[in-house]
Chain A
């Protein structure tokens, strides 16, 4: 209980975000004509906001399981990094470890990775409650949105822009983290620019229904190609 009361305040910012996005997600699924229990299920099982929003479109378009799976891998690739960072922290957490790994969302990672756990609090319980509360906000929000979607009287046309806006904001936050100076702006943001540029090129070449997989291949190849120069630049700056 002590661990719960200590972790709850740290999850309040996550709560506002997750409830807002969760409700919107539920509404969107509902207005796209999916059964009202589906948002709750996807929210609980997939539990990766970006992938779930993408699922609304993927499920509504023609059957293409390979592309869907490749997208999930690429979108989830950042979890690899979270996993590597959390390896030592999630060690020795016993039976909770499975759940902790399963529920490592962007926000949960941010809170747990950055938290200074007070002395006398069992760390595995602290991590557990943060993870559990965050998941509760998200699944709860999605359920609310799906439930109230049925009684909705306003026009939801254009609501799907929330997904675009979400990705823009995440990209901007990432951009900021990689540096905000104007000088050397291009060199600081090569991954972002590769992502935008490669996918735009593939969109023009392959068209809107076939550009995802070529884009992913091109992005991977380009990132690997610039690895050496990028890492050399970092060393020079640190020296």
Chain B
């Protein structure tokens, strides 16, 4: 991307993000009824989108070519394991990332 293209992308992403934040206040000023389908989507889109983002992050992992996604699999398991064990947000992120860095730099 050129600098100009980066600036355009940046501006669009910022605009979209700000829009999602202000939209409910603009559409539903105090007192106006919120349609049930909007409330429903607000609730279920979050969990679904984070599923999408996990897949997005791992989209370039190839099972066919070495190292067959093994470092990613181990790091994901460490992240999940630490979360289930400690019920904490930061520790699994730090532990999973460190595991991945060590695996890539030392073994793969």
Contacts and interface: CB of A to CB of B under 8 A. Distances in A.
Interface of A: 16-17, 20-21, 24, 42, 45-48, 50-51, 54-55, 58-63, 65, 68-69, 71-84, 87-88, 90-91, 101-102, 104, 155-159, 161-175, 178, 189-200, 203, 208, 211-212, 215-216, 219-220, 223-224, 227, 230-231
A80 B47 contact: no
Contacts of A197: 51
Contacts of B38: 80, 84
Interface range on chain B (Cβ under 8 Å from partner): 35 or more
A59 to B, nearest CB: 5
Interface of B: 1-2, 5-6, 8-10, 12-25, 28, 30, 34, 37-60, 72, 75-76, 79-80, 83-84, 89-90, 92-94, 96-97, 100-105
A155 B52 CA distance: 29
Contact of A223 (B45, B75, B101): B45
Most buried by B among A47, A158, A170, A208: A158
Contact of A193 (B34, B39, B51, B84): B51
B1 to A, nearest CB: 5
B100 A161 contact: yes
B96 A165 contact: yes
Contacts, number: 250
A80 B104 CA distance: 39
Contacts of B101: 155-159, 161
The main secondary structure of chain B at its interface with chain A is helix
B42 A72 contact: no
Contact of A215 (B52, B84, B104): B52
B37 A227 contact: yes
Contact of B49 (A46, A75, A104): A75
Most buried by B among A20, A81, A104, A157: A81
A75 B14 CA distance: 12
Given A84-B42, A102-B18, A164-B54, A195 B93 contact: no
B10 to A, nearest CB: 7
Nearest to B52: A199
A63 to B, nearest CB: 4
Nearest to B61: A208
Of all A-B residue pairs in the complex, the 3 with the closest CB atoms, nearest first, are: A195-B51, A83-B24, A81-B42
Nearest to A19: B90
A43 B45 CA distance: 24
A216 to B, nearest CB: 7
A74 B49 contact: yes
A101 B25 contact: yes
Given A168-B79, A211-B59, A78 B13 contact: no
29 contacts: A42-B10, A46-B14, A68-B12, A71-B13, A76-B20, A80-B23, A80-B24, A81-B43, A83-B22, A101-B21, A102-B18, A104-B21, A158-B97, A158-B101, A161-B72, A161-B101, A164-B57, A169-B79, A172-B80, A178-B47, A191-B48, A192-B50, A199-B55, A200-B55, A212-B52, A215-B55, A223-B48, A227-B37, A227-B40
Contacts of A224: 37, 41
